[in-house]
């Protein structure tokens, strides 16, 4: 079997005296699209932050592509981080930078591409999210909710990641825009062979994208597996979440 893309083992996360995660483990394989479910405040965003290396758990290990994020070799660390992209819960774009410069930002950080190449790559990423070159001039405040999400996705894909982390990708979009965005992410996932970890509260998003579901409750992953299997797990969070809609999703 190939090396797991994400491997969390024995994670404890503690803020003050509060345990958010206790002995949490999760292993995600290549090409899986995992919907991460859990109540508000259960620690989903915190778990993504740990996968990004933005936050270090109090105990346990986070391995991406087989590399421990506590690995002291800086070059190895940097190479691993380049293999993932993140779409934040609140869409974070730099408000003072144009769409073009937002997408160019991670490319310029590499300090090895000239502006011609950067321009070509930015236009390619814009096309990937079905925007055109003229949108590059707009400022974030001038974008509709759906366009904003697309630009944030284009930036997350700038470095051609193999692993994409999405935090509530469709929150705040109306049902039509939400469905379009789900279709776009699904198409890119298949084309690029991405592994995705996606936090969502939205059944439509989960149904349209996820191959697998992980349920975060009681400070750990209480269920993980193919979507149809996890949906039938007998746990109050699972029955409450899927409720009467369970059958529609199968
Ligand atoms: N930097 C921090 N310092 C202290 N407490 C924190 C910090 N970050 C998160 N928490 C706490 O950890 C818990 C989990 O937060 P987190 O944002 O991960 O939840 P979530 O599952 O993403 O919730 P939501 O669905 O509402 O986005 C919450 O109780 C939150 O207040
Ligand atoms: Mg959150």
Q: How confident is the model over 85-92, as a mean pLDDT? A: 83
Residue nearest to atom 10 of ligand 1 (CA): 15
CB contact burial 149-169 (16+ within 10 A = b; e otherwise): bbbbbbbbbbbebbbbbbbbb
**What does the block give as tokens for 142?**
């001038």
For ligand 1, is residue 20 a contact (CB within 6 Å)?
yes
Which 3 state secondary structure label does DSSP give 15? strand
What's the whole-model pTM score?
0.92
Decide if 110 is inside a domain.
Answer: yes
Q: How confident is the model over 129-149, as a mean pLDDT? A: 93
Q: How confident is the model over 75-91, as a mean pLDDT? A: 87
Is the pLDDT score of 67 beyond 90?
A: yes
Per the structure, the complete domain to which residue 116 belongs is given by: 93-160
**What does the block give as tokens for 4?**
């797991």
The rounded distance, in Å, linking the Cα atoms of 223 and 85 is 25
Tell me which DSSP letter residue 109 carries: H
Strand 33-38 versus strand 212-217 pairing type: parallel
Residue nearest to atom 4 of ligand 1 (CA): 15
Beta carbons within 10 angstroms of residue 134's beta carbon: 9
Decide if 247 is inside a domain.
Answer: no
| Neighbouring residues of 72: CB distance < 8 A, sequence distance ≥ 6 | none
Decide if 242 is inside a domain.
Answer: no
List, for residues 70-80, the tens digit of each pLDDT value: 988 989 988 99
CA-nearest of 87, 102, 55 to 171 is 87
Decide if 194 is inside a domain.
Answer: no
The rounded distance, in Å, linking the Cα atoms of 180 and 192 is 18
For the packed helices 145-156 and 99-109, what is the interaxial angle rounded to 10 degrees? 10
C-alpha angle 60-66-68 in degrees, rounded to nearest 5: 40
Residue nearest to atom 7 of ligand 1 (CA): 15
Decide if 116 is inside a domain.
Answer: yes
Decide if 136 is inside a domain.
Answer: yes
- Mean of pLDDT over the chain: 92
Decide if 104 is inside a domain.
Answer: yes
Q: How confident is the model over 167-192, as a mean pLDDT? A: 91
CA of 235 to the centre of ligand 1 (A): 22
Is the pLDDT score of 1 beyond 70?
A: no
Taking CA atoms, 194 is separated from 25, 79, 191, in Å, by 22, 17, 8
For ligand 1, is residue 42 a contact (CB within 6 Å)?
yes
For ligand 1, is residue 41 a contact (CB within 6 Å)?
yes
C-alpha angle 14-210-237 in degrees, rounded to nearest 5: 50
Mutate to test the pocket of ligand 1, among 13, 18, 41, 55 (most ligand atoms within 8 A of CB): 41
Number of domains composing the chain: 1
CA of 200 to the centre of ligand 1 (A): 15
pLDDT of residue 153: 93
Is the pLDDT score of 118 beyond 80?
A: yes
**What does the block give as tokens for 143?**
């974008």
Decide if 60 is inside a domain.
Answer: no
Q: How confident is the model over 188-212, as a mean pLDDT? A: 93
Residue nearest to atom 17 of ligand 1 (CA): 45
């Amino acid at each position: 079997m190939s090396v797991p893309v994400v491997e969390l083992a024995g994670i404890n996360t503690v803020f003050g005296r509060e345990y958010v995660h206790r002995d949490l483990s999760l292993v995600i394989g290549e090409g899986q699209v995992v919907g991460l479910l859990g109540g508000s405040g259960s620690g989903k965003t915190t778990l993504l932050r740990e996968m990004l290396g933005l936050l270090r758990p109090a105990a346990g290990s986070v391995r991406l592509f087989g590399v421990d994020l506590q690995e002291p070799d800086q070059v190895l660390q940097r190479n691993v981080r380049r293999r993932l992209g993140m779409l934040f819960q609140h869409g974070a774009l730099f408000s003072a930078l144009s769409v073009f410069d937002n997408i160019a930002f991670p490319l310029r950080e590499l300090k090895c591409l000239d502006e011609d190449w950067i321009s070509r790559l930015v236009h390619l990423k814009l096309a990937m999210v079905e925007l055109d070159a003229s949108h590059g001039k707009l400022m974030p405040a001038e974008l509709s909710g759906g366009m904003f999400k697309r630009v944030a996705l284009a930036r997350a894909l700038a470095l051609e990641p193999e692993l994409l982390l999405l935090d509530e990708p469709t929150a705040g979009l109306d049902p039509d825009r939400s469905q379009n965005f789900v279709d776009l992410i699904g198409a890119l996932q298949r084309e690029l062979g991405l592994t995705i970890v996606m936090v969502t509260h939205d059944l439509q998003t989960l149904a349209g994208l996820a191959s697998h579901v992980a349920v975060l409750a009681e400070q750990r992953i209480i269920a993980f597996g193919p979507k149809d299997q996890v949906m039938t797990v007998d746990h109050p969070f699972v029955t409450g979440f899927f409720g009467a809609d369970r059958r529609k999703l199968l």
